[in-house]
Amino acid sequence: MLNKKIVYIVVIIASTLLITYLHLWLFRGPAPYIVLEELYYIPLLLAAFMFGLKGALLTYFFVSILYLPFLFGQWTATVLSLIDRILHLFFTGIFVLLAGLLIDRERRQEHQLEKDRYLAGLGQVAATIVHDLRNPIISILGFAKRIREGKGDIGTAAQVIEDSAQNMQRMVDGVLDFAKPIRLELKKEDIHRVIQQACDSCKIKAEEKNVDLSMNIPTDPVNIEIDSFNLKRAIINLINNAIEASPKGQRVIIRTETDKNHAVVKVKDFGSGMDKETLENIFIPFYSKKDKGTGLGMAIVKKVVEGHHAKIYIESHAGRGTEVRIELPRK
């Protein structure tokens, strides 16, 4: 952001100086007498859009200082010429003031909307967490009461309590993972090795579900800047989702493709696919139609992918399965 502001400042100053120079060159040189004062609106607009009212006013004062010499001498040979120049400065100032005020007001409104959306999101998060934690809490309280009263099998009750507590822990961990910012440590690593490790981590789950993991991953290394830990977590999440969506005996295909600009990771299953509503809301936090889980998995995947300046695409057809594609930039 700082570099972007510096670029804008340089462009604003350079364009203002260039316009002033063109004024002088056209006046002194063989070119016809042309006034280019309207071109000063270019740096003024840039300053207003980038820096708001304060930036626009500072640029206006800078332009006015450079414009002062044109109020005297042969530029203003008549009283009408002088009035024309003064009116130009006056109306330019009015324009700058209005543009700056409107842009500042729009930014304040956008900021307030962001705050409102954030507060609404907090309310949604709180409601979802309370709803999801209610069932395991009821189970823990109920079976704890049975143990205290000496009713039922203690081993079964203890197992239910442990399972409920683990579900609560997963929910809390998921919320914490989503809430904290993703800090990526990018370094050159073999993307094929990371994908292979992710596949290896999902083999046991695939075997339990009787799903075949079909891996088409080249052995030749392709080194790109990635955070291997977070990217592997994201891909594991995608593979696990594909396994859960697959009927017994089906395949989940994981493959990679590379070209000059991108390394592409694809995870495809042949399950029931997703309906239009699920596909449109798949990245919304806490949105899920599964019986288990927090609905944060795909939201976290999206954060990791975007942190790599990559793109994620999902194509799904009811009854034909789903394919997720991640395009990672090689540079």
Q: What is the pLDDT of residues 137-162, one digit of tens each?
A: 888 888 888 888 877 777 877 887 88
Q: Return phi, psi of residue 65, to 5°.
A: -60, -45
Q: Buried (b) or exposed (e) across 150-166, using 16+ Cβ within 10 A?
A: eeeeeeebeebbeebee
One-letter amino acid at 42 equals I
pLDDT surpasses 60 at 41: yes
Residue 265, classified by CB atoms within 10 Å of its CB into exposed (0-12), middle (13-18) or buried (19+), is: buried
Note the CATH number of domain 187-329: 3.30.565.10
Alpha-carbon distance values, 259 to 179, 191, 209, 331 (Å): 34, 13, 34, 12
Residue 33: what are its φ and ψ, rounded to 5°? -75, 105
pLDDT at 75: 60
Please state at what angle helix 41-67 crosses helix 79-149, rounded to 10 degrees: 130
Is the pLDDT at 24 greater than 80? The verdict is no
Q: Three-class SS of residue 271? A: coil
> Which sequence spans correspond to the domains of the chain?
1-180, 187-329
Contact criterion met (CB below 8 Å) for 257 and 273: no
φ, ψ for residue 215 (rounded to 5)? -110, 125
Higher confidence at residue 77 or residue 46?
46
How many residues are recorded in the chain? 331
Q: Report the alpha-carbon distance of residue 145 to residue 316 in Å, rounded.
A: 46
Instruction: Tell me if 151 sits within 8 A of 182, measured CB to CB.
Output: no
Strands 262-269, 212-216: pairing kind = unpaired
pLDDT over 80 (residue 13): yes
Q: What is the pLDDT of residue 30?
A: 47
- In this predicted structure, which of 96-105, 175-184, 268-277 has the lowest mean pLDDT? 175-184
Give burial (CB, 10 Å; 0-12/13-18/19+) of 302: middle
- Mean pLDDT estimate for the chain: 82
pLDDT of residue 31: 43
Q: Is the pLDDT of residue 209 over 80?
A: yes
Name which of 69, 67, 45 is nearest 56 in CA terms: 45
Tokens 């292979």 — which residue?
Answer: 196
How far apart, in Å, are the Cα atoms of 6 and each of 12, 47, 52?
A: 10, 12, 15
State whether residue 77 is helix, strand or coil.
coil
Q: Letter for the amino acid at 210?
A: N
DSSP code string of 92-150: HHHHHHHHHHHHHHHHHHHHHHHHHHHHHHHHHHHHHHHHHHHHHHHHHHHHHHHHHHT
